Amino acid sequence: MTSLTSIASALAAQAIELPSWAFGNSGTRFKVFGSPGTARDPFEKISDAARVHKHTGLAPSVALHIPWDLVDSIADLKKHAEDNGVTLGTINSNTFQDDDYKLGSVTHSDPKIRQKAIDHHFACIDVMHETGSRDLKIWLADGTNYPGQDDMRARQDRLTDSLATIYERIGTDQRLVLEYKFFEPAFYHTDVPDWGSAYAQVSALGDRAMVCLDTGHHAPGTNIEFIVMQLLRLGKLGSFDFNSRFYADDDLIVGAADPFQLFRILSEVIRGGGYGTPDIAFMLDQCHNIEKKIPGQIRSVLNVQEMTARALLIDGDALAAAQEDGDVLAANGIVMDAFYTDVRPALGAWRESRGLPADPMAAYAASGYQEKIEAERVGGTQAGWGA
């Protein structure tokens, strides 16, 4: 088996973008829960995200959600990020909260509402110019709840036209990344329900249009690594939103529900040439409803790092030979040997060699930062869904 020493340089290439909204309050459909020390504005969200990078060295950028993260001066927010040792990354649009979007946004039958949604994306692109962000990520809640509610084909046509208009506005060094989700909040049909629909739409746009794969956006039993393989094979995998699910889009800590699935996904990313390249963005998309938010993000990036290390340990030459020989059990055994390798002690030593704490979770707990923000962030309005 490949040794951890031999993959040290590959590990150093890993970078995982954090979502600003992970540092605000969230909850269920019935309640959004508050918690002491929660960030009250985008500046405090960035400060909290920077602590994750400080202790792990894995999270050098923070994604923003517009309009949740709009501030009087984007330049000041960018400088605040840089002063804290991180940068601003992906810009995520929001066309799922305004009353006008009740029956759709870029797929709506009313051209005025479609134009409102398009204009919002234009505003997001303006933010990208200020932050230096490369990716505009679009997730749409558009769909229907009942048969006959609207013309599904007409909605696809309107989606194509709207995305083309938005795509024409992005810069030559920017990308449009389209995310899919098979249900919720639309329950009869969703306008971008699967990777094939997303692929069809972005393929019609051009080379700078890609697909985002959210690991929580699939039906139970879906072979997600197969989708990863196909999108890499087709040159259209632009980014990941890593989280974990037991039932639906649970947005739990990545690797919490099925560590072996995370390992399999990362194995396919590595095999397909999607690791260590800026063309494939690794990002978290999670909500921390009952756990503390900063250590929740630390645990998440460490889980991704651990499963990446295990995936890198797969002996590719031996696996290819076993596959060529049709040796089913040997091939599976090579993969399972890598998965069952406990890389945590070696990763701790590797982190120390880079001036990072061997145990980032313990280092954060001992830092006093959590107690500090809980004492200082009293008053004001905590950030959460919609802010």
Q: Which residue has the tokens 């999108």?
A: 231
Rounded to an integer, the average pLDDT of 62-71 is 97
Q: For the residues of 121-165, what is the DSSP string, one character each?
A: HHHHHHHHHHHT--EEEE----EESSTTSS-HHHHHHHHHHHHHH
Assess whether pLDDT exceeds 60 at residue 387. Answer: no
Read off the DSSP letter of residue 97.
S
What tokens does 80 get? 């605040």
Q: Which residues contact 207 (CB under 8 A, 6 or more apart)?
A: none
Confidence of residue 2 (pLDDT cuts 50, 70, 90): low
Confidence of residue 131 (pLDDT cuts 50, 70, 90): very high
Give the pLDDT score at 60: 98
Rounded Cα distance between 199 and 235, Å, is: 10
Rounded to two decimals, the pTM is 0.96
The answer to whether residues 176 and 163 touch, using CB atoms and an 8 Å cutoff, is yes
The pLDDT tens digits for 265-310 are: 999 999 999 999 999 999 999 999 999 999 999 999 999 999 999 9
- Within a 13 Å sphere around the CA of 174, how many CA atoms are in the beta-carbon half? 24
* Start-to-end CA span in the chain (Å): 48
Q: For a pLDDT cut of 70, what percent of the chain falls above it?
A: 99
Give the pLDDT score at 237: 98
Instruction: Please state, rounded to an integer, the average pLDDT across all residues of the chain.
Output: 96
Rounded to an integer, the average pLDDT of 326-338 is 98
Residue boundaries of the structural domains of the chain? 15-313
Among 33-37, 59-63, 329-333, the least confident range: 33-37
How many Cβ atoms are within 10 Å of 246's Cβ, its own excluded? 11
Rounded Cα distance between 48 and 183, Å, is: 31
Give the pLDDT score at 31: 81
Give the pLDDT score at 4: 72
Assess whether pLDDT exceeds 70 at residue 1. Answer: no
Check if CATH label 3.20.20.150 holds for domain 15-313.
Answer: yes
The pLDDT tens digits for 139-168 are: 999 999 999 999 999 999 999 999 999 999
The pLDDT tens digits for 184-242 are: 999 999 999 999 999 999 999 999 999 999 999 999 999 999 999 999 999 999 999 99
Give the pLDDT score at 7: 87
Q: For a pLDDT cut of 90, what percent of the chain falls above it?
A: 93
